């Protein structure tokens, strides 16, 4: 049986020799494989993106993390000097998210992808969570990769929510590598997990026609060793496989 095709929208970065590159971190590609899928990298074409045709190519979409931040004007805030943005990715993913949810295409968002879904549906972001009153510092501690991705704090799952159903648990420890976070949750979203300081760490889309979950942490990192990560990827993969089967 064919693997479900999992589309992964690319970042578009200026790397060298006055050239742009479309790229995705390998850990996300491997996580898509771990979910049982065949990864398909989708270029950041911006306003030239043929949304309907792109959705016809895939059985699910994985919106990844990235060092870049969403341009603030997308959620009604002013630009910040020195911020690392990726406008072509924004112009690709934000409308693609809305189209995918409308079409019932399974969606999983991670870190930046989590924030993209919130912004695409009308939510806003804290640009520096650690500077907000009462909030903790959610940035990575630096050091080696193992130290950066080490479990950092607990998240508590919403009673009766998606994550509680997937795991049979009420909370879990997660890593934390983000400077930005949700300020106002979009009306179409419902919280699925919170950090100890109250920050929304996971959400689902209310009444979605397909799987639609996003998390602020990084389940793709060494997912095979983490029961929560495996549960998320397995559920996403099953939803993608179901769409493949429906489409024949």
Consecutive sets of 10 residues in the chain, 248 residues long: mean pLDDT of each? 95 85 96 98 96 97 96 90 88 98 98 98 94 92 93 97 97 96 98 97 96 98 97 98 94
Task: Tell me what pLDDT residue 80 has.
Answer: 78
The catalytic site residues sit at 111, 218, 220
Give dist(CA 135, CA 185) in Å, integer.
16
Give dist(CA 241, CA 86) in Å, integer.
31
Pairing state between β 5-9 and 60-63: parallel
Task: Tell me what pLDDT residue 26 has.
Answer: 97
Q: Are residues 240 and 139 in contact, defined by beta-carbon separation less than 8 angstroms?
A: no
Task: Tell me what pLDDT residue 16 has.
Answer: 75
pLDDT tens per residue across span 171-186: 999 999 999 999 999 9
Torsion of CA 56, 246, 237, 138, to 10 degrees: 60
Residue whose C-alpha is closest to residue 171's, from 195, 140, 147, 139 = 195
Which DSSP helix (H) or strand (E) runs through 162?
helix 162-167
Task: Tell me what pLDDT residue 83 has.
Answer: 80
Average per-residue pLDDT in the chain? 95
| All domains in the chain, ordered by first residue | 5-247 (3.40.50.880)
Residue 177 CB neighbour total at 10 angstroms: 18
Q: Which residues contact 142 (CB under 8 A, 6 or more apart)?
A: 148
Q: Are residues 96 and 51 in contact, defined by beta-carbon separation less than 8 angstroms?
A: yes
Task: Tell me what pLDDT residue 172 has.
Answer: 98
What burial class does residue 223 get, using C-beta atoms within 10 Å of its C-beta: 0-12 exposed, 13-18 middle, 19+ buried?
buried
pLDDT tens per residue across span 228-246: 999 999 999 999 999 999 9
Residues forming beta bridges with residue 194, ordered by sequence position: 156, 200
Q: Which residues contact 205 (CB under 8 A, 6 or more apart)?
A: 101, 107, 117, 121, 188, 189, 190, 212
Task: Tell me what pLDDT residue 79 has.
Answer: 83
Which DSSP helix (H) or strand (E) runs through 42?
strand 38-42
């Amino acid at each position: 049986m064919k693997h479900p095709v999992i589309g992964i929208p690319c970042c578009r970065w200026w790397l060298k020799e006055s050239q742009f590159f479309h790229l995705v971190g390998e850990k996300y590609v491997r996580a898509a494989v771990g979910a049982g899928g065949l990864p398909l990298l989708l270029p950041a074409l911006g306003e030239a993106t043929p949304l309907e045709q792109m959705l016809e190519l895939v059985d699910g979409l994985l919106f990844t993390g990235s060092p870049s931040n969403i341009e603030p004007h997308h959620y009604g805030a002013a630009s910040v000097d020195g911020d690392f943005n990726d406008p072509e990715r924004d112009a690709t993913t934000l409308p693609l998210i809305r189209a995918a949810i409308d079409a019932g295409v399974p969606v999983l968002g991670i870190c930046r992808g989590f924030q993209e879904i919130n912004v695409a549906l009308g939510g806003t972001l804290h640009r520096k969570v650690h500077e907000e009153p009462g909030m903790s510092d959610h940035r990575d501690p630096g050091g080696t990769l193992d130290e950066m991705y080490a479990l950092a704090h607990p998240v508590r799952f919403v009673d009766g929510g998606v994550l509680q159903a997937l795991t049979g648990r009420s909370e879990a420890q997660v890593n934390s590598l983000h400077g930005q976070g949700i300020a106002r949750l979009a009306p179409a979203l419902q919280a699925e997990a919170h950090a100890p300081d109250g920050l929304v760490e996971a959400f689902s889309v209310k009444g979605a026609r397909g799987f639609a979950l996003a998390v602020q942490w990084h389940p793709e990192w060494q997912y095979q060793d983490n029961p929560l990560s495996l549960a998320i990827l397995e559920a996403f993969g099953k939803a993608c496989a179901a769409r493949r089967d429906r489409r024949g």
